[in-house]
Amino acid sequence: MHTPPWFVLGAGSIGCLFAAYLSRAGHAVTLILRDRNTVAELRRAGGIHLNLPDGDGARETVACSAISLEELNTTEQSLSIQRILVCTKAHQTLDAITGLRPGLDNNAQLILLQNGMGVRERIQPLLPTTTIAQAITTEGGWRRSAFEVVHAGRGETLVGDTRTAAEAEHIAASLGCALHIHADTGFASRQWLKLAVNCVINPLTGLRECRNGELLHQTDVASLTRRLCGELRLVAEACGQSLSQVQLEQTVFDVMRGTTANQSSMWQDLQRRRLTEIDFINGYVVRQGHSHGIDCPTHEALLRAIQQKEKDLGCA
């Protein structure tokens, strides 16, 4: 039986990390890149350079096919995307999905693997027959250069938010590789826990220009984490998810310790003078809070600070 290839949309740290591991496991993988120049750059590099974790210094070059969004829309070949892992930044997803719609199979499986919340609600109306699942990951990765990714910390990837548990299990199994990927029946609560991690680590590392583990040694981080988790807990409860303050704070600090060498995606974006996902992270908490009459001043302060830094740096 023919197994359809995996397409990976977005070649940031997580997109490159998953594309490399899927390819290493024998899957046919095609990266969907911005333009022909970026495709040519990948080909010149010979593939994705993967720096393996555990401090052994091992580095592999993993072959990977690529196509640009422009080629997707102009190729004379019949191209049917049946399985796609979406690793673009949250604020870029709607435009990217619109661009690849001509190549999407009517019954495609689309898995959102990105920071923040609120994207699925925006793209589902565009793709009424597409199965859209969501995934969250605690794998630590950062890019040393365009197609060189450092796997900085091992974690796990959870798949959920599907119509049935069996569907989530099938999707998780289809992503089989050396990464720890599985379905989770408690996905919604885990998604809020992941959001809490992003709401603390991403903006703080972006503003302070430091790696995740460096936050552990900064004296005000514990109190900031307490306030951020407290505000998020109230919003999550209003949205139907009951989470404990202790669980939220512990999860945040566990990720800091587990990804000490990692550069958060938000700090990486700011270093490259690119817009961040802040609107789908702390911004999501602020908007949901407002809709339920809950003030989130700490989240709002970080939202404004990152937006100001983006403006100062000329991010686009």
pLDDT, tens digit, for every residue of 55-103?
666 899 999 999 998 888 776 555 789 999 999 999 999 898 888 888 8
Which CATH number is 78's domain given?
3.40.50.720
Q: At 126, which amino acid appears?
A: L
Cα(54)–Cα(115) distance, integer angstroms: 24
The reported pLDDT for the residue numbered 72 is 80
Task: For residues 140 and 215, state if they share a domain.
Answer: no
State whether 77 and 89 are in the same domain: yes
Mark whether 173 and 274 lie in a shared domain: no
Together in a domain, 206 and 106: no
Final residue of a structural domain among 166, 185, 204: 185
CA distance 84 to 164: 19
pLDDT at 185: 87
Q: Determine contact, residues 261/228, Cβ cutoff 8 Å.
A: no
Q: How crowded is the C-beta side of 74, counted as CA atoms within 13 Å?
A: 7
Beta strand 59-62 with 48-51: parallel, antiparallel or unpaired?
A: antiparallel
Residues 152, 219: one domain? no
Whether residues 169 and 59 share a domain: the answer is yes
- The more confident residue out of 79 and 212 is 212
Contact partners, residue 221, CB within 8 Å, separation at least 6:
200, 204, 215
CATH number at residue 253: 1.10.1040.10
17 within 8 A of 149, measured Cβ to Cβ: yes
Side by side, which strands form the sheet with 81-86? 65-68, 29-33, 6-9, 81-86, 104-113, 131-137, 157-160, 181-183
- When pLDDT is cut at 50, 70 and 90, the band that residue 17 belongs to is very high
How confident is the model over 254-303, as pLDDT tens digits?
A: 999 988 988 898 998 999 999 999 999 999 999 999 999 999 999 999 99
Out of 159, 185, 211, pick the residue that ends a domain. 185
Any domain includes 27:
yes
Catalytic residue among 89, 194, 309, 311: 194
Question: Rounded to an integer, what distance in angstroms lies between the CA atom of residue 293 and that of residue 238?
Answer: 10
The pLDDT value given to residue 56: 62
1 pLDDT band, cuts 50/70/90, is low
In a domain, 275, yes or no: yes
Q: Looking at the domain assignment, is residue 99 inside a domain?
A: yes
Residues 170 and 279 in one domain: no
Number of domains present in the structure of the chain:
2
Helix (H, G, I), strand (E, B) or coil at 94: helix
pLDDT value of residue 140? 82
Would you say residue 196 has pLDDT above 90?
yes
173 belongs to a structural domain: yes
Active site residue 311: no
In this structure, are 103 and 176 located in the same domain? yes
Q: Which residues of 218-254 are buried (b: 16+ CB within 10 A; e: fewer)?
A: eeebeebbbebbebbbbbbeeeebebeeeebbebbbe
Residues 168 and 39 in one domain: yes
Whether residue 176 is found in the same domain as residue 193: no
Looking at the structure, do residues 37 and 159 belong to the same domain, yes or no?
yes
Give the span between the Cα atoms of 295 and 281, in whole angstroms. Answer: 16
- 44 C-beta neighbours (distance < 10 Å), count: 8
Please write the tens of the pLDDT for every residue from 124-182: 898 988 989 999 998 888 888 889 999 988 889 999 988 889 999 999 999 999 999 99
In a domain, 1, yes or no: no
Q: Which of 158, 185, 212 is the last residue of a domain?
A: 185
Residues 67 and 130 grouped into a single domain: yes
- Domain span at residue 242? 188-313
Assess if residue 132 is contained within a domain: yes
Tokens, residue 238: 């209003």
The pTM score is: 0.88
